[in-house]
Structure 1
């Protein structure tokens, strides 16, 4: 697995789906409600100020139980798109339907007075305005930022086949999600984390699945999970940033066949967590530490870890592949490595490979 081997998202067109509703109106800068209750199809207005497209999309999302289909083309918004419960925002594919934020604020967000339960975002590119030439402000906007209101419970969220790039903070920022799935999403060149999940003061983040997601060139971590329980990441990838995967205060979170490349601090960091597992974690040309086990992390399982091509002319080699701090406990087996380990705490190497 190399940076050159990455594949773009494979996205199909959903433009024809709107025809099944009958009586739909295309080409309107303002929202055009379909004859079928709750369904609307919108095409770009060509207004690069963002006012017309935002008004059309937000008008279509004026109430719960709405489905909005965006046709192929370039949309511009000058304010965040606000979503509420039981709403679906679906494009014709991430390479076909692109939403660019030309104003301040997030790309797609929620408002504190409402729940964001059973929300679906699919088949879109959501593009911010921050890059190497335009640095992000502190605590800048995120591409998708969904936070339930303080009186609301956890949210069921689906995000699939999307590209989220060039945002000041995180590409995808979720709090208190439950029974949720993020599938085939690319989060690239953002000022914060590629993907970030945490709890609220009243609701936890649990039963979450990341599948085949890719974080590329984000300034902080590719994937950061804080206070997340019984969740999983499958076949995810990270290139660049400080860490590929950072787990803080997590319980029973499992990573399976996930890779981290070209990181500057650690491929995988697990801190203050319990009962988590890394199965076949993979590192490539990262710096400092491949897998870092923090002092208060207990009952961690690591199986089949692979260190590949640890150094190059432009990337320093790892100091250590696996580092465990005093106070941690882990069971490890099946490690393939070049760099040495530095193991403290209570570590059981089942086959002597660590």
Structure 2
């Protein structure tokens, strides 16, 4: 629906699209409404909402219970096949959960002025089941500060996934459980959302919690998880997902990725500051990657790490850490990067202040900040050149075409034989020994 203001009785509107033949006549209807009436019901200056919650009896005064009035607006939108439910500026008291439905979109005037205040310690604020195409934007959702409720809880009963979720400009805080819980969302976006001071996770995305499958095709942009007791971001059975410019401060774990079915997740320019020691399971870690594979951290940093900056464990595979930085760790920090036995990591151009704890054979380091390379194996069809030392700890140096050594010296007689190096071809067959002398005379 398009609304426009004009003289009374004028119902012809010409639309000009700027090209030949692009001018059409649209017959409008006179609503008989004033400019003030229309403005009072709009989402912004270009859209008219389906329903204003104040038209169904909500007060927004922070005192009266607005739960029934808001649910009435949501139900009417659902009956109509979907629509926008609009919350003008105000504080809307809730005493039980609001239930949303597919194709219903909750929109406020901004998270600083349009506020939902859940007063029950056992109820979620917003909940829904088996949803398709829902959005929550420009709202603040506040809980009672304790209890078992979640801020936004979108789950499943029989649907394969929750499809087309969009959360933007939302602030969720003070719930006893998770700030935001999404059951197997796919093709969904979360942008400029803050989840703060919750007793569980800030953002909890879980695939396969009802039946099979995984959360897929998700994007987080400029989100913030702050002071949550467990993880700022908790991903379980989540695949091909990206986070860009996100932050996690003062959580038990900043970013937690679990389960072998969590794959192909990239963290791009994300940060974690001052992770807090909240419990044995959430003791103050920046990133914990546990049993996942194909996870990448690109130009990420950890500031004031409590125990460990980045911990890779649980037989995680193909983990890439590129350009990651350990910034001013706390005095309790033990390690920047910790890799447990059975996990495999590649580190490139990472910078650490706290020592790394890398079990032998787990980690390939390409430039540790001082130009050194450490890896399980190196293969090259061409030439490998080392300006510094080339060391093998109990392994083999294999060369199909032989090994060339620079800094050669000539001498009339040989010196004192110190060691010998055995050289193998590509098939593993010995090519013989290269003598190592302590001096050349």
TM range (shorter): 0.7 to 0.9
Deviation by residue 1:189-248 (Cα, 9 ceiling, x = unmatched): 000000000113134201111110001111111101000001011111011121100001
Q: Aligned residue for 2:106? A: 89
Q: Aligned residue for 2:381? A: none
Q: How big is the shift at 1:98?
A: 0.3
Asked if the contact 2:204/2:235 (under 8 Å) is kept, the reply is: yes
User: Quick one: which of 328, 338, 358 aligns to 1:309?
Assistant: 328
Asked if 1:129 corresponds to 2:144, the answer is yes
Deviation by residue 1:144-180 (Cα, 9 ceiling, x = unmatched): 0101222443422000000000001111100110110
State the alpha-carbon separation in 1 of the partners of residues 257 and 49 from structure 2: 47
Deviation by residue 1:299-340 (Cα, 9 ceiling, x = unmatched): 1000011111112xxxx3410000000001111011111100
Asked if 1:192 corresponds to 2:204, the answer is no
Asked if 1:17 corresponds to 2:32, the answer is no
Q: How big is the shift at 1:53?
A: 4.0
Q: Aligned residue for 1:110? A: 128
Q: How many residues align?
A: 317
Gaps of 5+ in 1: 1-12, 31-41, 131-135
Instruction: Give the SS at the match of 1:310.
Output: coil
Q: Provide the TM-score with structure 2 as the length reference.
A: 0.67
Gaps of 5+ in 2: 1-39, 278-283, 375-441
Change (3 A) 1:176 1:23: closer
State the alpha-carbon separation in 1 of the partners of residues 152 and 50 from structure 2: 31
Q: How big is the shift at 1:52?
A: 4.7
Q: Which has the higher contact order (CA 8 A, sep 6+)?
A: 1
User: Quick one: which of 203, 211, 225 aligns to 2:221?
Assistant: 211
| Aligned pairs for 1:20-169 within 5 A | 21=48, 27-30=54-57, 44=60, 47-63=63-79, 64-103=81-120, 104-111=122-129, 115-130=130-145, 136-137=146-147, 140-169=148-177
Asked if the contact 2:150/2:178 (under 8 Å) is kept, the reply is: yes
Asked if the contact 1:18/1:24 (under 8 Å) is kept, the reply is: no
Q: Provide the TM-score with structure 1 as the length reference.
A: 0.83
State the alpha-carbon separation in 2 of the partners of residues 187 and 22 from structure 1: 27
State the alpha-carbon separation in 1 of the partners of residues 301 and 41 from structure 2: 35
State the alpha-carbon separation in 2 of the partners of residues 350 and 207 from structure 1: 30
User: Quick one: which of 238, 245, 252 aligns to 2:264?
Assistant: 252
Q: Aligned residue for 2:307? A: 288
Asked if the contact 2:258/2:291 (under 8 Å) is kept, the reply is: yes
State the alpha-carbon separation in 2 of the partners of residues 80 and 23 from structure 1: 21
